[in-house]
Structure 1
Amino acid sequence: MAATKKAAPRKKRGPAEPRGPLPRETRIDQDDPELRSQVALVETSGGAVLAAFRDPYAGRPLLLASLPLRAVEPTAFQRDLSRTHAQRLGAAIVDAGVFLDPIIAVAGAAGFHSPNGRHRLAAAKQLGLRAVTVLVVPDDDLVYRILPLNTEKAHNLRDRSMEVIRMARSLAKDRPKSKESDHATAFESAFLLTLGASYDQRSRFAGSSYQPMLRRVDVFLDGPLPKALRQRDQWATRLVDIDDRVALHIAALQERGFKSPYLRTLVVARCNPVRWIPAKRGQGPPMPLAEALQRMAASVRKFDAGKVRQQDLALVAAVAAEDG
């Protein structure tokens, strides 16, 4: 008779036992022996120590310092610089009127290197900053261990849209006289407002299918924010109605034996009123959003599922894979 295996002990759920320093134990003197070499490196680099403290997990001594921008370099192995992202970040800093986030700077023999601050450093340079606030870390090995610490969930289209529409609704209460266009930097893209309002009405709305069309025709409105949001809600209602009709065509295609995650993409693409209008740099939208929705609704009503061929679906899938 085979011996029965003991069940593996279950991991304890819930919060761990208290650890780390208490708040009053966190602050330490800048002349602490453990910080001596880091303080010296900050000062010889032309910087200034702002504070010294212990981290809340292991109680390790850290420094908050101001360093000349030239004294901090990004590590060579982090993701490549996106000029567009750096420019957007710079614009967001200007709009906020403050550079908030300290940059992690690992102190080493060759100076200070930031394992995750490439874009903030680029934005600071673009804005002409003379200094940056840094969190000085003494551990060289942290340069290679920083990536797992960046565990915030990546924003998908739904997350971004919901965040933007909630921000807009909050601003409409706090600053009702401000225009939607006044907050263009914070909202990032106008189509996120329309999609956010659509997700408000239908949590499982297939926003990514409509993004290509909305991106071409949606612009920020110049009216007061509360009025603009009412307009967004109306457009969202029309989008959800269009998607209801699209769902009927998807069902008809499935009855014909089509099986693919790209059925909605195919139907929406064929009904996209700006699909064949070339996009030209510097030109405005090819038509207003209201007109685009009206044309799209008409196209969806006329859509004939019987005319779809298997090769049409294969082409849509190939294009989608290329875009992804």
Structure 2
Amino acid sequence: MPEKKPRKPRAPGAVRKRRKPAGASVGLIATDLQAAKPPGEVIELHQQIEADGGKVLSIYREPYGGRWLVMAALPIDKVEPTPYQRNLSETHVRKLERVIGKIGRFLDPIIAVRIDKEGAAKYWTPNGHHRLSAMRTLGAKSIIAIVAPEASVAYQILALNTEKAHNLRERALEVVRMYRELAPLGDATEETYQLEFEEAALITLGFCYEARPRFSGGAYHPILKRVDTFLKKPIADAMAIRQERADALLRLD
């Protein structure tokens, strides 16, 4: 059996090549998502949702594989997380509560499947435990869900639920880019955008990462998070102060 050739190590600082898009496009065009008649199992699911006290908002095929889905408002007391999900993060739930409560909108539907549990209809969500908990705490009566007809989706979705949380550098760069976009738009202060910026420290760190992509932000973040505060100045005026703070950190690094 021939020996495998060792992989050639990537040179330090080399950029990983991006995967090229597939040569041929796949899936459905936008006007096809509701062009066909739903199959019997989807019509039955529609009827079951409304019999359970929910309201079907739309029936359509998802654009990649063409599989049928039902978008519906479900009674929140009939929705549960799947029993095999990771433990609830109270920190994440509290953050969702603050954000949903402040913007006054729920914009991120959960995924759900309908099951019969001890003779009663329930909707299991494999990816919406935190959003469901936040909405319950806020006193919501219903929640928007994308309901799949196949119960097996409750298991398959775990493989798809692999979105990587933003690391510190990614968060800081997003914040500072937003900061620069907002600066010329008026006299709003940093405090006005506390929700969007999350932490004052992320603004300063964003300036640092812009200047030095390999900046050791993780070493300074715990301390900076405690001492850095939002400035009560228009963002355009505060930018110079942020740059001074970033320069001081860069000299230490």
> Shorter-chain TM-score category?
0.7 to 0.9
Q: Counterpart amino acid of 1:94? A: G
- 1:169 aligns with 180
User: Which aligned runs of 4 or more in structure 1 are off by greater than 6 angstroms?
Assistant: none
- 2:160 aligns with 149
Aligned residue for 1:226, secondary structure, equals helix
Choose from 226, 235, 242 the match for 1:225.
235
- 1:116 aligns with 127
- Counterpart CA distance in 2 for 1:231 and 1:141 is 54
- Counterpart CA distance in 2 for 1:229 and 1:148 is 42
Shift of 1:82: 1.7
The structure-2 alpha-carbon separation of the partners of 1:31 and 1:154, relative to structure 1 and needing over 3 Å to count, comes to closer
Aligned residue for 2:241, secondary structure, equals helix
The structure-2 alpha-carbon separation of the partners of 1:217 and 1:77, relative to structure 1 and needing over 3 Å to count, comes to same
Aligned residue for 2:242, secondary structure, equals helix
Aligned residue for 1:145, secondary structure, equals helix
The structure-2 alpha-carbon separation of the partners of 1:86 and 1:148, relative to structure 1 and needing over 3 Å to count, comes to same
Q: Is 2:212 aligned against 1:202?
A: yes
The structure-2 alpha-carbon separation of the partners of 1:28 and 1:103, relative to structure 1 and needing over 3 Å to count, comes to farther
TM-score (norm 1): 0.67
- 2:52 aligns with 45
What is the 5 A alignment of 1:29-44? Answer: 32-44=39-51
Give the conservation status (yes or no) of the 8 Å contact 2:41–2:149: no
What is the 5 A alignment of 1:75-94? Answer: 75-94=82-101
Count of aligned positions: 233
- Counterpart CA distance in 1 for 2:78 and 2:84 is 18
TM-score (norm 2): 0.85
Give the conservation status (yes or no) of the 8 Å contact 2:38–2:68: no
- Which structure 2 residue ranges, 5 or more long, are not aligned? 3-18
Q: How large is the RMSD of aligned CA atoms in angstroms?
A: 2.2
- 1:22 aligns with 29
Shift of 1:86: 0.9
Q: Is 2:149 aligned against 1:135?
A: no
- Which structure 1 residue ranges, 5 or more long, are not aligned? 4-11, 244-324
Q: Which is strand-richer, 1 or 2?
A: 2
- Counterpart CA distance in 1 for 2:99 and 2:240 is 26
- Counterpart CA distance in 2 for 1:227 and 1:33 is 62
Give the conservation status (yes or no) of the 8 Å contact 1:81–1:118: yes
Choose from 72, 75, 84 the match for 1:68.
75
- 1:249 aligns with none
Percent identical: 41
Q: Is 2:178 aligned against 1:178?
A: no
- Counterpart CA distance in 1 for 2:85 and 2:147 is 18
Q: 1 or 2 for the larger relative contact order (CA 8 Å, sep ≥6)?
A: 2
Shift of 1:13: 5.8
Choose from 194, 214, 222 the match for 1:212.
222
Q: Which is helix-richer, 1 or 2?
A: 1
